[in-house]
Structure 1
Amino acid sequence: MSALADRDIRFGDNTIAMAPNVVRQLGATRVLVVCGKNSFTASGAEAIVPELENVAQVRRWNDFRANTDAADLIVGLRIVEEFQPDAILAVGGGSAMDMAKLLCGYRGVTDKKLLEDAIRAGGTVSRTNTALILAPTTSGSGAEATHFGVVYIGADKYSIGGPTILPDVVLLDPSLTLSGSDYQRATSGVDALAQAIEALWAVDATDESHAFALQALPLLAGSLEAYVKSPSAKAARDMALGSYLAGRAIDIAKTTAAHALSYGITKTYGLSHGHAVAVTLGSFIEQHAEASASRLQDAVDPMAHRQAMDEVLAALGAANAAEAKESWAELLQRIGLDASLTNAGARRTEDRHKLANSVNLDRLGNNPVKFTLDELAELLIDLP
């Protein structure tokens, strides 16, 4: 499994049981466990606690919101200052893993204003003397594979990055991902699939990100429906590995327009992140597949874009752009995701314009096809 060879990835069912030994190997004696409110118990991960307490002093923290917020982050940073962990173990979805990364990156900052100023200023974060272990309980965010974390200040989203907030060890345990609801599996899984697709067409894509995305795409597209409707150990393994590979791809290529729009949809209408990405992605697939060379960003090679779109269409079993959009809509229906922006709450034309105007322009610049804000609004207006 060469894709896992360059990092310390422990992959397989019940890999979470390795956590106490990993802590011992890292020489840690004080461990802060950052976990989901329900998933830590429901997934079975809580079973590691007695053995973990045999090798280290353990404190558990789960009192934070689903979308990582600076108000929660400052609480966590003060806990870190008080407890002084030498390792942070995150067991949960993307929010828990992002929170753990940010606790490492901003360790030592305990003043709310200083923290918010640092987040707004951006720049690369670093950490010292804090081991980071990530164990995802969902297959979708890819946070265990990326060098950045997401944090909100109010309604404003910031992506904070730095190579030093990559985990020291990842415990990639497919069995942890089976306890979530059908909706959780659908929305996280479709996010991973979207990441693999966007990584293929992104302006910043490289040969390396293409390789990761092309490994991820058949695993995710081939297993997502089964993983949602009747999850088996094989489907869970394919989705866990596919999600990690998509994360590796997006870590290099970065996300594009569907993700850029998703944050406004989530914040305004409450759709979970993956669901919000999925609502618009079918239309972007269609428009990208039909785009003439004149609509492409200057840095995009038309031949490379055509090849990327051929790969996306093939993964969806589609012969052309219209079929691909229809195939995407049918997939969402089969896994129980409502693709209607109207049903989500964006009922008026002005609602769609507001969403377009909320877009992250950096991510929009990474989209291979040029869109003005008015063109984005028209795309949104055309959605059901």
Structure 2
Amino acid sequence: MEQIDLKKIRSLIKESSNTLVFTNRNSFYTNEFDKLLVDSPDPDKNKITFYNDFEINPKIEDISKALCHLDQDNHDLIVGIGGGTPLDFAKAFCYFKEFDKKEVNDLMELVKKPVEITKKTSLALIPTTCGSGSEATEFSVIYYQKKKFSLSVSSLLPDYYLLDGVFIESLPRKILAFTALDSITHATESFWSKNATQKSKEIAIKSLRLSHENLEKAFIHNDKQALNNLLEASNLAGQAINITKTTAVHALSYYLTTYYSIPHGQAVGNLLPYLIEINSNNKDYNEMFSAFDCNTASEYKTKIILLLKNLNIYLDLEKIIDNVEELVDSVNIERLANNPIDLNREQLLSLFTHHHKG
């Protein structure tokens, strides 16, 4: 996995005879791709195909359709550019295309029992948001029958990734806020995960410091260096969760996105305060609190809530969620197992009966 710059990605595309680009439907258009990435493309030598026929939270059916539609094209470079969805989709497509399988049931078998492969096609990922960290992980989020699954195999790691603030300069403020909160949540959950190592903790702390020091500068002033720093923070948080995986916050979040259409970053950001104090009981998280200029779990929770309000993305979840029992019963068991303390159903229910506002 190699970090590259604009010059290198332009060179890769120019050297490729057939590039396939996965991107968002509404956020990154062909002319922007040409302007930013392609150095005098020759349509006779450098075929570039764009594909965006998938939902924000991609279903396995979307991947099946792409495999059928794009099957006969012999691509030598795949590029994912956008937020977490097109990056995850590019990783999944690059993986699944190595198998002679296109049917949904066959693909789900590979999700549940992944097989390591050697990719035959180079993969480059370019984030245009500052939250998912997908370019640094071996995970790809896939939905099937309204349930979230994580395809997890080292073959999903890209060959190249590019971090450049130019790609998020025009990002709508709300998207910047949503994705930055996803990054902060990734770093927090990685730090306290049962699977945390000294290395993952150091990476998570660096990510949190960068987010804390740069988010408001980026949000209010669109400061170029601050935007670059947020991209780095997101990438570091991705590296951290690639070691540890996420915990209870993410385990609860998928229900909010699936049934209430709350964007993922906003969902995890607003769930984070509910878990901070209970996960900090009898734990030494001083280093994590310090990264956000705090001394206690209570202060950290209050700062996160204040940040959500300052960014205009705060939600009173207790007023929004109609059925807390349904939320708790939907929890992702795999992610919940990584939580620093074991939480039973009654404890999860109690989180939403004690008002947490700071």
Q: TM-score, normalised by structure 2?
A: 0.92
Quote how far apart the aligned CAs of 1:73 are: 0.8
Residue in 1 aligned with 2:218?
Answer: 227
* Aligned partner letter, 1:96: P
Quote how far apart the aligned CAs of 1:318 are: 2.5
Which secondary structure state, in structure 1, belongs to the residue aligned with residue 177 of structure 2? helix
Q: In the aligned structure 2, how far is the partner of 1:206 from the partner of 1:53?
A: 48
Q: In the aligned structure 1, how far is the partner of 2:156 from the partner of 2:138?
A: 6
Q: In the aligned structure 2, how far is the partner of 1:381 from the partner of 1:269?
A: 19
Residue in 2 aligned with 1:335?
Answer: 311
Relative distance call for 1:332 and 1:324 in structure 2 (3 A) is same
Residue in 2 aligned with 1:63?
Answer: 53
Residue in 1 aligned with 2:86?
Answer: 96
Q: In the aligned structure 1, how far is the partner of 2:354 from the partner of 2:61?
A: 37
Residue in 1 aligned with 2:334?
Answer: 362
Q: In the aligned structure 2, how far is the partner of 1:53 from the partner of 1:124?
A: 37
Quote how far apart the aligned CAs of 1:53 are: 4.6
Relative distance call for 1:352 and 1:46 in structure 2 (3 A) is farther
Q: In the aligned structure 2, how far is the partner of 1:342 from the partner of 1:366?
A: 25
| Aligned ranges 1:1-384 → 2 under 5 Å | 7-11=1-5, 15=6, 18-24=8-14, 28-41=16-29, 44-47=32-35, 48-49=37-38, 51-53=40-42, 56-107=46-97, 108-119=100-111, 121-289=112-280, 291-292=281-282, 305-306=283-284, 309-343=285-319, 345-346=320-321, 348=322, 351-383=323-355
**Alpha-carbon displacement from aligned partner over 1:29-82 (angstroms, at most 9, x marks no partner):** 211110111222399334235734555221110121101211111111123312
Question: May I ask how many residue pairs the two structures share in their alignment?
Answer: 352
**Alpha-carbon displacement from aligned partner over 1:131-181 (angstroms, at most 9, x marks no partner):** 101011111100000011110012111101211111111111111012221
Which secondary structure state, in structure 2, belongs to the residue aligned with residue 9 of structure 1? strand
Quote how far apart the aligned CAs of 1:225 are: 2.0
Give yes or no for contact 1:106–1:125 (8 Å, CA) kept in 2: no
Q: In the aligned structure 1, how far is the partner of 2:193 from the partner of 2:345?
A: 19
Q: Which moved more, 1:35-44 or 1:248-257?
A: 35-44
Q: In the aligned structure 2, how far is the partner of 1:57 from the partner of 1:45?
A: 13
Q: In the aligned structure 2, how far is the partner of 1:139 from the partner of 1:77?
A: 28
Q: TM-score, normalised by structure 1?
A: 0.86
Give yes or no for contact 1:280–1:380 (8 Å, CA) kept in 2: no
Q: In the aligned structure 2, how far is the partner of 1:230 from the partner of 1:258?
A: 30
Structure 2 gaps, min length 5: none
- Structure 1 segments of 4 or more deviating over 4 A? 52-55
Which secondary structure state, in structure 2, belongs to the residue aligned with residue 83 of structure 1? coil
Q: In the aligned structure 2, how far is the partner of 1:52 from the partner of 1:368?
A: 51
* Aligned partner letter, 2:352: L
Quote how far apart the aligned CAs of 1:23 are: 3.4
Q: In the aligned structure 2, how far is the partner of 1:53 from the partner of 1:126?
A: 33
Relative distance call for 1:175 and 1:204 in structure 2 (3 A) is same
Quote how far apart the aligned CAs of 1:377 are: 1.4
* Aligned partner letter, 2:313: L
* Aligned partner letter, 1:259: H
Quote how far apart the aligned CAs of 1:313 are: 1.7
* Aligned partner letter, 1:67: N
**Alpha-carbon displacement from aligned partner over 1:239-276 (angstroms, at most 9, x marks no partner):** 01111111111100110110111111111111111111
Identity among equivalent pairs (%)? 30
Structure 1 gaps, min length 5: 1-6, 293-304
Q: In the aligned structure 2, how far is the partner of 1:153 from the partner of 1:375?
A: 28
* Aligned partner letter, 2:53: D
Q: Which moved more, 1:205-214 or 1:232-241?
A: 205-214
Quote how far apart the aligned CAs of 1:362 are: 1.4
Give yes or no for contact 1:264–1:359 (8 Å, CA) kept in 2: yes
Relative distance call for 1:18 and 1:253 in structure 2 (3 A) is same
